[in-house]
Structure formats: structure tokens, C-alpha cells
Chain A
Amino acid sequence: MSGVAFILISILTLAAALATATLPNLMHAAFCFVLALLGLASFFFLLGAEFVGLALVFIYIGAVAVLIVFTILLTRRDSKEHHGVNWSGVLIAFAVFVGLIWAVLKTQSLSIVPPHIRALTVRQIGQTLMTGYVWPLQCVGLLLTAALIGALVLVMEEKK
């Protein structure tokens, strides 16, 4: 059951990601990115990390994806790419892929049996965030505030 779901989700995610990397129509590529993220979120669900999957959907599909499509719209002058394939990029990406696969298959310590784990509840995540990870949490809050203000300052109209 989870094997079939695993294969379906990986095919969906990777196909959508590949479409994002190659489609000439930018808006279609952006929506394929959303699809790839949805696949990734279902991956997280499959692996038992529901909270992370939901957070991914919430942040990426609810906010980042809308930002991306808006930016494409605002910089619409060239919403289609006219150029040939950049072979060096393809080559490097493929080399990295082969290297990673080689590393994964070569490592012996990875083939452990999946232990039967209890699901991580939202309550536990909240308690961990509020005890052991308070400082990182505060730093992320500060970072997000800085990013918010920084993004606003960057796009503000310059006074002539």
C-alpha cells in the first residue's frame, strides 16, 4: 500500500519538478513547481511528518507560490524564454545526480530496517519548539521580520 503510494508520489514529484525546470511557458512552469511541492508534502505525510507537510503546503502554496506568480506577472515583458538548451547546465546536473546516487548506493550503514515509530504529535512539536528550540525560534521570528521589512524597502518606488 505505502509502496504503491511511494512510487506514485515520487513519479508525480519528479515529473513536476522536471517540468518546472524545462517548460518554456513560465506560468505553466510555476504551476508545475506548485505541483512538485504538493508531491513533496505528500511525501512528508507518507513518512509520518504531518506537521511539516502541512507547514510546507501552508507556506509554499499559500504564500510563496502566489508571490512567484505575481512576480512573473509584474516582470511580464519576457514571459517566454527563447533560447536553446544550456548543455553545460544539464551536464553538471547529471554529473551531480550520478555522484549522489553512487554515494547513496555505496554507503552500507543506510540499509537499516525502518523502525516502527509513534507518530510525532503537534503537541510534542510545540513543546520541543518552546523548550529546546526557543532561541532558534526567536531568531527565525527576527529573520522573518527583517525579511518582511527588507522586501518592502527593496520594492518601494524610489523617489526621483
Chain B
Amino acid sequence: MYRIMTPTLPLVLIVSAALFSIGLLAALSRRHAIFILIGIEMMLAAANLNFIAFWRFAPPPHPSTGVMIAIFSIAISAAEAAVGLAMVIAVYRHYRTTNVDEYDQLKG
């Protein structure tokens, strides 16, 4: 029993797969622009978890590539969030709504 509960690579990957799917669910089923962004952020976070897991369970003489990529990906997703939220505000000024279904014109 105890043997099963210790985190192994497949278990961590299953958790990250679940997190990715929930992010996808949020991105697909939400209609609010901010929450689509949050869904994308969640998918990125799941990918980070994968990087860390593969780094952690790699065979012994391992470089720290997984950690480096996770750090860069966190920085990039922060930039993405800032620009994305600014775009939500800019679009909101035109349409007075955040429902992505109502963004149906190319000309603002």
C-alpha cells in the first residue's frame, strides 16, 4: 500500500494530465475572456509540472535543464498574462462585454 502512494513518474504525469485537461475544460467551456486566459495558464502550469517531474526522475548524471525550462516558461507565461489581460481590457472598452461569443466583428 505504502509502495503505491510514493510519488512515481507515472503518478505525477497523471496528475499533470488531469490538470491539463481541466485547463482545457476551462478554456473551452468558459465564455468569459479572462477565464479562457486562466485556462491557458493552467495548461502551461501542467506543462511546467511535467518538466519538473522529468527532471526529478531522470537517470543520475542529469543536467538541470528541466528546472531552467520551467523558470523560463513561468517568466514567459507571466508576460503572456500581462499582455492578455491588457487586451481583455482594451477589447472591453470597444464592446462593453467580456463574453467572447459577442466578439463577432473584425472592425472594433
Contacts and interface: CB of A to CB of B under 8 A. Distances in A.
Query: Chain A at the B interface: mostly helix, strand, loop or mixed?
Result: helix
Interface string A43-70: 1101111011001100110011001100
A47 B28 contact: no
Interface residues of B, number: 72
A114 B57 contact: yes
Query: Chain B at the A interface: mostly helix, strand, loop or mixed?
Result: helix
A17 B83 CA distance: 23
Interface string B57-71: 111101010011011
Interface of B: 2, 4-15, 17-26, 28-32, 34-35, 38-39, 41-42, 45, 48-49, 52-53, 55-60, 62, 64, 67-68, 70-72, 74-76, 78-83, 85-90, 92, 96-99
Contacts, number: 232
A155 B90 contact: yes
A67 B17 contact: no
8 contacts: A13-B15, A17-B19, A21-B39, A29-B35, A36-B19, A64-B41, A129-B71, A140-B75
A47 B39 contact: no
Contacts of A7: 5
A60 B34 CA distance: 15
Contact of A71 (B15, B24, B34, B58): B34
A35 interface: no
Nearest to A132: B68
Contacts of B81: 64, 67-68
